[in-house]
């Protein structure tokens, strides 16, 4: 690969979200890639426009106005490849999270084996599991057919049967799926992804191919102990693209303009890819965690040494999915994160308003606090539902978050409507990390486009990961322990600056301590946890870590795991206010 970037390709990334569409222009300046300009417009895939191109063209027009570079021809088509430095672009990346969740029916043989794997596969894209079928569900064939038809699925995922194992149970399910597809009008027929007993793959294809689109993948559970999702994920991506291009046919025209020079992924997949790339770069025993809080969905991505995946929660988001939040939590759990008293009626009013107008931005202090409280609760629900997907050897006691380095965070609630201390507090409360980790804030929401761009321009991806567009929010040290009392010393630290200056600090349980270490500064910390707390070296064991300055500095979160909140509402609000004040003094 050439080392000179003088003639490198320019790249336009289009990210079509449920609320907003963004256009990001990348090009080479002084020998390396930079983000040149960004434009944002409301997404126009739904009513009253029903034409996703309008929002895309508006976002691109903003980039044109900022740069003077002509990207759209007179007929509003994209100019690809570039004709000069001032006209056109060479490559196109398209990431999409708009369009609503893909309605899915999961079919398996055993509920806690193949059906569970089918459910996990579905969670890697923007899907909504509308129904589940398995051999022990006590439904007749007619009942299963009715269940599938009533779910109005876009997709049926079929799994089950070990390779070269029993086939009768799979054939029973195949009969129901085939008859359900046959009874539906052609325009309403779903696609089928078969990832079960590979000996039956040809039979499945012969049975369904004349009725409805069918895709074959390697068995999700080739043996009882082995789960392999990756091969089926690639097929699922093809199906996602097919469904989205039918739902938004205008995207076909945009992609055809950049044929051979473009990639198209779900936004969550691009986000997951960048987490996997970083985990390969970092290596070591710690994984990399990414959280993306969107309007339509929340994505949790995780990986260790290049291996991992993303988990998409289409029923958890700061927009339309708020209507379903009560099925996962209740108003008291949202209220517990508020630093000031806000009547429940006002919280509910804001929740429904945000559900109806997901593109709206919180304006008043109360609205910001409510939305951040909602974000905390969404993160808590999502991370708890992800825990079983982490490798079992990485599990910590009592469901604590495994050790990650770094933790990447993206989403408008963190980057637009929050100060750095508020963003960090939201993440700390929602995720409750353990040990020593670094929080990186995706201020321009670049991570998903960069993950997708790695397919066609890996140099751009690598170079942008090391730029100021991904600032470190803070290094966080958590003495992990279930607290019984507040106010007792939990960690002592000696801070040695690069200048040689030293100071001692002690942090008490139930508090947040901050070491003011800003950009460009470096320090060595000698840490000693007390009362059996664990900072990643083992219970009660101390150690030394090297840290660098950041927006907030080094944060010592001594609030226990899980975080110990006062039961008295007034004292709890005072407690939360003090924690936020501790972070704000140093930001």
CB contact at 8 A, 107 and 177: yes
Compute the radius of gyration of the chain from its Cα atoms. Answer: 25
Q: What is the mean pLDDT of the chain?
A: 91
CATH number at residue 56: 3.30.420.40
Same structural domain, 64 and 137: no
| Mean pLDDT of the 102-118 span | 94
Per-residue confidence (pLDDT) for residue 11, from 0 to 100 = 97
Per-residue confidence (pLDDT) for residue 106, from 0 to 100 = 97
Distances from the Cα of 475 to the Cαs of 87, 493, 547, in angstroms?
43, 14, 7
Q: What is the pLDDT of residues 419-436, one digit of tens each?
A: 899 999 999 999 999 999
- Return the beta strands (E) in 446-559 as ranges: 472-478, 489-497, 502-508, 511-515, 522-529, 543-548, 554-558
* Helix/strand/coil (H/E/C) assignment for every residue in 53-80: HHHHHHHHHHHHHHHCCECECCCCCECC
Per-residue confidence (pLDDT) for residue 355, from 0 to 100 = 86
How many independent structural domains does the chain possess? 3
Same structural domain, 94 and 106: no
**Residue 7 — very low, low, confident or very high, per pLDDT cuts 50/70/90?**
low
CATH number at residue 426: 3.30.420
Distances from the Cα of 256 to the Cαs of 264, 265, 321, 498, in angstroms?
11, 15, 33, 55
> Six-digit token pair at 190?
């779903």
**501-516 burial by CB neighbour count: b if 16+ within 10 A, else e?**
eeeeeebebbbbbbbe
Same structural domain, 233 and 252: no
Same structural domain, 126 and 138: yes
> Six-digit token pair at 334?
């949202």
Residue 476 included in any domain = no
- Return the beta strands (E) in 124-197 as ranges: 127-133, 155-158, 191-194
CB contact at 8 A, 185 and 148: no
Residue 123 included in any domain = yes
Same structural domain, 276 and 330: yes
Per-residue confidence (pLDDT) for residue 508, from 0 to 100 = 94
Same structural domain, 109 and 52: no
Q: What is the pLDDT of residues 181-209, one digit of tens each?
A: 999 999 999 999 999 999 999 999 999 99
Same structural domain, 134 and 273: no
Domain's final residue, options 452, 470, 488: 470
Same structural domain, 183 and 301: no
Match 């963004």 to its residue by tokens. Answer: 22
What are the backbone dihedrals phi and psi of residue 407, each rounded to the nearest 5 degrees, phi first?
Answer: -115, 120
Distance CA 226, CA 497 (A): 49
**Residue 536: DSSP 8-state:** S
Distance CA 234, CA 269 (A): 11
Q: What is the pLDDT of residues 77-90, one digit of tens each?
A: 999 999 988 999 99
Same structural domain, 333 and 459: yes
Distances from the Cα of 238 to the Cαs of 97, 214, 216, in angstroms?
15, 12, 11
**Residue 529 — very low, low, confident or very high, per pLDDT cuts 50/70/90?**
very high
| Mean pLDDT of the 427-456 span | 95
Measure CA 118 to chain center. 20
Q: Is the pLDDT reported for residue 144 higher than 60? A: yes
Distance CA 134, CA 386 (A): 23
Same structural domain, 153 and 76: no
Per-residue confidence (pLDDT) for residue 3, from 0 to 100 = 44
Q: Is the pLDDT reported for residue 167 higher than 90? A: no
For residue 84, the SS3 value is strand
Domain that holds residue 235: 102-242
CB contact at 8 A, 290 and 410: yes
- Strand duo 298-304 + 307-313: pairing: antiparallel
In terms of Cβ atoms closer than 10 Å to its own Cβ (0-12, 13-18, 19+), residue 486 is middle
Q: What is the pLDDT of residues 323-374, one digit of tens each?
A: 777 777 788 888 999 999 999 889 888 888 888 888 788 888 899 999 999 9
| Mean pLDDT of the 226-254 span | 93
Residue 511 included in any domain = no
Residue 44 included in any domain = yes
Measure CA 510 to chain center. 30
Alpha helices in 125-167 (DSSP H): 141-151
Match 């201390």 to its residue by tokens. Answer: 421
> Six-digit token pair at 339?
């630093």
Q: For residues 463 and 399, which has the higher predicted lDDT (pLDDT)?
A: 463
């Amino acid at each position: 690969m050439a080392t000179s970037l003088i003639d490198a390709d320019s790249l336009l990334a289009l990210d079509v979200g449920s609320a907003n569409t963004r256009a990001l222009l990348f090009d080479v300046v002084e020998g390396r890639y930079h983000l040149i300009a960004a434009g944002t417009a409301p997404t126009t895939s739904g009513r009253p426009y029903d034409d996703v191109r309008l929002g895309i063209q508006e976002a691109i027009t903003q980039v044109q106005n900022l740069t003077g570079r002509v990207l759209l021809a007179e007929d509003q088509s994209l100019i690809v490849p570039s004709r000069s430095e001032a006209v056109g672009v060479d490559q196109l990346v398209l990431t999409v999270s708009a369009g609503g969740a893909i309605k899915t029916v999961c079919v398996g043989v055993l509920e806690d084996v193949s059906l569970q794997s089918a459910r996990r596969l579905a969670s890697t894209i923007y899907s909504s599991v509308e129904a589940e079928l398995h051999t022990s569900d006590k439904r007749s064939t007619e009942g299963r057919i009715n269940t599938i038809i009533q779910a109005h699925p876009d997709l049926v995922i079929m799994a089950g049967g070990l390779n070269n194992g029993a086939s009768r149970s799979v054939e029973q399910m195949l009969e129901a799926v085939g008859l359900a597809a046959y009874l539906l009008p052609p325009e309403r027929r779903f696609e089928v992804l078969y990832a079960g007993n590979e000996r039956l793959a040809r039979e499945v294809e012969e049975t369904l191919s004349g009725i409805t689109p069918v895709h074959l993948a390697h068995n999700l559970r080739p043996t009882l102990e082995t789960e392999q999702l990756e091969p089926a994920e690639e097929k699922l991506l093809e199906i996602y693209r097919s469904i989205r291009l039918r739902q938004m046919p205008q995207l076909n025209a945009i992609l055809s303009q950049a044929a051979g020079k473009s990639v198209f992924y779900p936004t969550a997949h691009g986000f997951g890819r960048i987490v996997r790339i970083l985990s390969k770069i970092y290596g070591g025993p710690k994984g990399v965690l990414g959280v993306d809080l969107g309007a339509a969905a929340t994505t949790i991505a995780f990986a260790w040494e290049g291996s991992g995946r993303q988990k998409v929660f289409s029923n958890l988001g700061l927009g339309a999915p708020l209507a379903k939040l009560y099925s996962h939590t209740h108003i008291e759990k949202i209220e517990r994160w508020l630093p000031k008293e806000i009547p429940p009626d006002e919280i509910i009013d804001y929740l429904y308003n945000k559900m109806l107008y997901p593109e709206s931005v919180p304006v008043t202090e109360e609205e910001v606090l409510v939305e951040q409280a909602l974000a905390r609760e969404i993160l808590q629900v999502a991370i708890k539902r992800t825990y079983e997907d982490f490798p079992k050897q990485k599990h910590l006691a009592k469901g604590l978050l495994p050790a990650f380095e770094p933790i990447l965070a993206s989403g408008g609630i963190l980057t637009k409507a929050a100060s750095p201390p508020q963003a960090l507090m939201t993440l700390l409360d929602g995720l409750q990390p353990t040990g020593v980790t670094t929080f990186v804030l995706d201020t321009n929401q670049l991570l998903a486009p960069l993950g997708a761009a790695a397919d066609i321009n890996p140099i751009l991806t690598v170079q942008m990961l090391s730029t100021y567009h991904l600032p470190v929010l803070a290094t966080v040290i958590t003495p992990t322990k279930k607290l019984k009392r507040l106010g007792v010393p939990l960690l002592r630290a000696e801070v040695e600056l690069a200048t040689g200056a030293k100071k001692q600090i002690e942090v008490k349980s139930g508090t947040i301590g901050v070491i003011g270490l800003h950009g460009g500064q470096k320090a060595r910390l000698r840490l000693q946890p007390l009362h059996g707390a664990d900072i990643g070296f083992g219970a009660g064991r101390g150690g030394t870590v090297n840290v660098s300055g950041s927006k907030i500095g080094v944060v010592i979160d001594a609030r226990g795991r899980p975080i110990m909140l006062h039961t008295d509402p007034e004292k709890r609000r005072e407690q939360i206010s003090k924690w936020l004040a501790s972070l704000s003094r140093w930001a």
